[in-house]
Amino acid sequence: MTLVFRPARESDKWNVHAWRNAPKVREAMLTQHEISKSDHDGWWGRKMVDPSFRMMLLEEDGVAKAVQIYFDIEESGSAWWAFYFTPHAPEDMGPMMRFWKATELAGLSYAFDHLKRDRLIIEVLRSNAGVLNWHKRFGFKPCDPEVSKNANDFDLEVMDYNRSAYVEMRDTRWAKDLTEIQIGE
């Protein structure tokens, strides 16, 4: 098994559109409507040149299985993070949990080791208990919901993770799988 975490390319544009519109993905998102091709095309054109935005894909054996997005990457050292799985991600519990762990490790490593962030912030719908518990297992902590522009409109848990928590986690057996992930710029 080869895991590669790489930047999204122009050739990924319409796959990302299809994956984001998958019903299972939409139901976990704040915006749950189907996104039109023209809206996606405009969004892609703006975001892929935005210096405060990065999109990365986690591939296993050459197949993209997770999309990760970093946005509002600020000079102050913070960034927001979101991810979702493509229809190619494993469905069986054991392989899925292993892949989910790799996804979280790759995302955290990219934020702290490559983007050099000091703080990573996420929003999770409270109804998405599995994702909330998973992030907590990695050490995400609830933070002031007022940092989110969406907190008043959605039932969200706003959480953050800081560099010191990442460094502590990175040096444990829990993160040993990180060495198996090739992270590209």
Domain containing 126 — which CATH number? 3.40.630.30
- What total of structural domains would you count in the chain? 1
How far is residue 137's CA from residue 121's CA, in Å, rounded to a whole number?
A: 15
DSSP state, residue 70:
E
| pLDDT values of the chain reduced to their tens digit, one per residue, 185 residues | 689 999 999 999 999 999 998 888 878 776 778 889 999 999 999 999 999 999 999 999 999 999 999 999 998 899 999 998 999 998 898 888 889 899 999 999 999 999 999 999 999 888 888 889 989 988 999 999 989 888 888 888 999 999 999 999 888 877 777 788 889 86
The secondary structure of 118-157 as a DSSP string is: SEEEEEEETT-HHHHHHHHHHT-EE--GGG-TTTTTS-EE
**Domain hosting residue 25, numbered range:** 3-183
